[in-house]
Amino acid sequence: MIAKLKGILDEKSPGEVVVDVGGVGYCAAVSVTTFCRLPDEGGKVSLFVITNLRDNALELFAFHDRRERTLFTLLRTVSGIGPRLALAVLSGLEPAALVEAVGSGAVDRLVAIPGVGRKTAERIVVDLKDRVEIAGADASGAGASTQIESDAVLALMALGYKEPQARKAVSASMEDAGESIETLIKTSLVRLS
């Protein structure tokens, strides 16, 4: 699985980039938010990636930061939202605005995004209201430790732990782990077992 691309930006357009990594060009879909933060063609770029395997293709979705990648992953957990629609949502609202809209239940802001109907917007709010605040903690200006804590909670949830259990274990393990997410996850797993 490809998780990060670091290289030279060969081509860019509002929906797609090509990154040259050691002579190999990787094509990845990007949101408008990520596109606006890219350097000029020929510049160095580092993007976080999600690899999606379809029946007949391997697709890459690239993001400027971890927060946007995390929100993309959360959006895909909502019934009826595939990777293209999740990318459209992130193109329609910046991560901080998306966290705010979902947190406040602003369905109308989500419906304004092309491809998102009222039922889909309502599902996004209902399914993600509690979870999106974890992912968006860094969007409100919180520090790096909050982002590491959020990432660790999401990792534990991906392993099957319930959010309250994961949050409690991560909070209790923060002092022992320092700034290492790997150590934080391992320490939290020990507390959970």
Contacts of 129 (CB under 8 A, 6+ apart): 102, 103, 105
* Domain limits, the chain: 4-63, 66-135, 143-192
pLDDT in tens, 133-168: 665 554 444 444 466 777 788 788 778 888 788 888
Average pLDDT over residues 169-174: 83
Range 143-192 has CATH code 3.80.10:
no
**Beta carbons of 17 and 9 less than 8 angstroms apart:** yes
CATH number of the domain located at residue range(s) 66-135 in this protein: 1.10.150.20
Residue 36 pLDDT greater than 60, yes or no: yes
| pTM assigned to the model | 0.69
**CATH assignment of 4-63, among 2.40.50.140, 2.60.15.10, 3.30.1120.10, 1.20.210.10:** 2.40.50.140
